[in-house]
Structure 1
């Protein structure tokens, strides 16, 4: 894919740097919130044990079952099922999955990152975060029954293959100046898409976007380090 030049290089670099700082701050808050919930649960662990001991001493099996059901629900909500092999990518993916599910989106992620990539972990997280944010946003106007995001990441030869597919309004998107327009308020191309393009380009990777009626797919190939 040939990447279009939308702005002057110096101006674009400054704008993207500011955008990426804001993006990282947002991702950090999302991940920190997830781990804060986990720390709270661990802190309460002793209290849970004590409560169960009291209920057991009273022989109140119904109350014990109800209490355990509540704990099981909490644990499932705090679980981090995505284990790709890259800790930072897992943190971003798990936080975004949690965010998407909270918005009624059916999300399925199958991710493996068994190699060290040419791009930094920060850039990888910017790519994944942007793709997930765009996918979540595209689902927003749809009925909850139609919302979906599918993510697949694994090796294809010596490169990491990344695929994001999301449901979208049943109107095929059109390219403007070589790029699909963002749906964000204010129009324009959006620094999120520009940032992803720049990171992939600088890494010597490949990027393809495809818009079909009702679905939007982004495919990326990233070389190993």
Structure 2
């Protein structure tokens, strides 16, 4: 009987390790997909930049200084609205939030961020990537079919209590049962 209990414990531990490996594999694939998407955006930005340079050169050749100023002012406003990169001092958090913000905004979802990460954060980078990535992915998935969708992300440290709060628009009725639409069920994080 004792041998059976030990074997069951070993099997459970192996299953947890396999689940963790699968989760890491899934996260790496998502990261690769998001990096690919970011590269495409960058490539499109380079193309747009070349067109702007051509347009400005043509205006300069014609001596249209006021039109150049108006053009640059308009572009500056567009840049201010499009680009909001969060810098928390934690590169993992910055990467996850900025990448997910881009994905959300591509889907027309307003992304509100209020983040303060303590320098001595007790949550490891891998755990932070797992938690934030999963929370934001879920919020994006729930919001993308909503009218006037938004995601509000807040991270704070209050009295040595690390708090992550994320809310999003979701008009369907909420259930008390926490169900998943994912194929892999029952994956949990081990805090180190």
> When the two structures are superposed, what TM-score results if normalisation uses the length of structure 1?
0.65
Structure 1 residue aligned with 2:74: 69
Return closer, same or farther for 1:155/1:35 CA change in 2, 3 Å cut-off: farther
Match of 1:26 among 6, 9, 30: 30
Cα distance per residue 1:159-218 (max 9 Å; x no partner): 32111112224312223xxxx11244x5xx746xx34xx24xx24xxxxxxxxxxxxxxx
Check whether the contact 1:174–1:181 (CA below 8 A) recurs between aligned residues.
Answer: no
Q: Would you say the 8 A contact 1:138–1:183 is kept in 2?
A: no
Q: 1:190 to 1:150 in 2, by over 3 A?
A: farther
- 1:151 corresponds to 2:153: yes
**More helix per residue:** 2
Are 1:161 and 2:163 an aligned pair?
A: yes
Cα offset, 1:57, TM superposition: 3.8
Find the counterpart in structure 1 of residue 112 from structure 2.
108
Structure 1 unaligned spans of 5+ = 1-6, 204-225
Equivalent residue number for residue 81 of structure 1: 85
Q: Give per-residue Cα distances to partners, 1:59-99, cap 9 Å, x unaligned.
A: 2246523365346535643x243122212211110111121
Q: Which of residues 127, 131, 138 in structure 2 aligns to 1:134?
A: 138
CA distance 1:35–1:76, shift in 2 (3 Å): farther
CA contact (8 A) 2:108 2:144 kept: no
CA contact under 8 A between 1:27 and 1:129: conserved in structure 2? no
Cα RMSD (Å) of the superposition? 3.2
Answer yes or no: is 1:181 the counterpart of 2:179: yes
Q: Which TM-score applies when normalising by structure 2?
A: 0.74
CA distance in 1, matches of 2:49, 2:106: 25
Q: Which residue of 2 aligns with 1:214?
A: none
Specify the alignment match of 1:207 in structure 2: none
Q: Does the residue aligned with 2:174 lie in a helix, a strand or coil?
A: coil
Shifted more, 157-166 versus 21-30: the winner is 21-30
Task: Please state whether the residue corresponding to 1:8 is helix, strand or coil.
Answer: helix
Residue 110 of structure 1: CA displacement? 0.6
**In the TM superposition, what whole-angstrom CA distance separates every residue of 1:16-70 from its partner, at most 9, and x where no partner exists?**
2112222133124414643664577579868855753552242224652336534
Aligned to 2:8: none
SS class of match (1:82): coil
Partner of 2:62: 58
Local SS of the residue matching 1:16: helix
